[in-house]
Amino acid sequence: MGATAMRCDVSDEAAIRQVIEDTEASFGPIDLFCSNAGIGAGMDLASPNEEWQISWDVNVMAHVYAARHLVPRMIERGGGYFMNTSSAAGLLNQLGGAAYGTSKHAAVGFGEWLAMTYKHQGIGVSMLCPQAVRTAMTAPPPGAKEGTLATSAAAADGMMEPEELADIVVEGLAAERFIILTHPEVLEYMRRKTNDYDRWIGGMNRLYRRLLGEA
């Protein structure tokens, strides 16, 4: 067993291809590819186009690039597995995070397409959809005592520690579940959303106003 660290701009297809090439040259065929990079830019309608674009490139296209260069190799070898990190925001959306919620929905959509298209050729896919996890992304901005509105909304059911998340991921991968949830409440929120979309949107709007201190 061994490990190595590599720098990679996941928004750059050539960089991802190089990581794949270097990894397989050093360690052999990749059986499981974990696509975990994410960015929380593009908070609202006033956010610049550049923030929307980098959100798309990191939160969606990084998964596409990895699959583009690994799926043919995996099929030739008899199969392989992708664990792509989205977010509970990819299922429920994200208050205070317009580009984040939008791009994370797209990430789930791509994972669905990947699984539907290649399952019969031995390609497995899991989408990790956590709520708030204690990382640099959920830490308060420099000089602030509290996190952003988006973090506050995501942490409504508690902030999970990375070690606990890792245990859930290992168990979910062993079971080959497509959706790996870290917070069981998310499943009930999904059911409420699909059962009555209009009521769910109304409830989310009330939560948004409450987080703003307006209700």
pTM of structure: 0.89
Digit-coded pLDDT (tens) for 101-112: 999 999 999 999
Q: Which is catalytic among the residues 100, 118, 197, 208?
A: 100
Digit-coded pLDDT (tens) for 161-185: 888 989 999 999 999 999 999 988 9
What is the chain's length? 215
Nearest CA to 124 out of 85, 86, 82, 71 is that of: 82
24 found inside a domain: no
Instruction: Give the whole-angstrom CA distance, residue 189 versus residue 194.
Output: 9
Q: How confident is the model at residue 131 (pLDDT cuts 50, 70, 90)?
A: confident
pLDDT at residue number 97: 93
pLDDT at residue number 120: 98
9 found inside a domain: no
* Contact status, residue 19 vs residue 30, Cβ threshold 8 Å: no
Q: What is the CATH number of the domain that holds 82?
A: 3.40.50.720
100 found inside a domain: yes
Range of 53's domain?
Answer: 31-184
6 found inside a domain: no
3-state helix, strand, coil in the chain (%, to 5): 55, 10, 35
Instruction: Give the whole-angstrom CA distance, residue 90 versus residue 93.
Output: 6
Nearest CA to 149 out of 134, 173, 132 is that of: 132
Helix (H, G, I), strand (E, B) or coil at 121: helix
* Per-residue CA distances from 136 to 70, 139, 141 (Å): 29, 5, 9
3 found inside a domain: no
Helix (H, G, I), strand (E, B) or coil at 65: helix
What integer best gives the mean pLDDT of the chain? 91
45 found inside a domain: yes
Q: How confident is the model at residue 155 (pLDDT cuts 50, 70, 90)?
A: low
205 found inside a domain: no
How many domains does the chain contain in total?
1
- Per-residue pLDDT at 114 exceeds 80: yes
The burial of 195, by beta-carbon neighbours within 10 Å (0-12 exposed, 13-18 middle, 19 or more buried), is given as: exposed
Indicate if 100 belongs to the active site.
yes
Instruction: Give the whole-angstrom CA distance, residue 93 versus residue 193.
Output: 11
- Per-residue pLDDT at 80 exceeds 70: yes
Q: How confident is the model at residue 127 (pLDDT cuts 50, 70, 90)?
A: very high
17 found inside a domain: no
pLDDT at residue number 144: 53
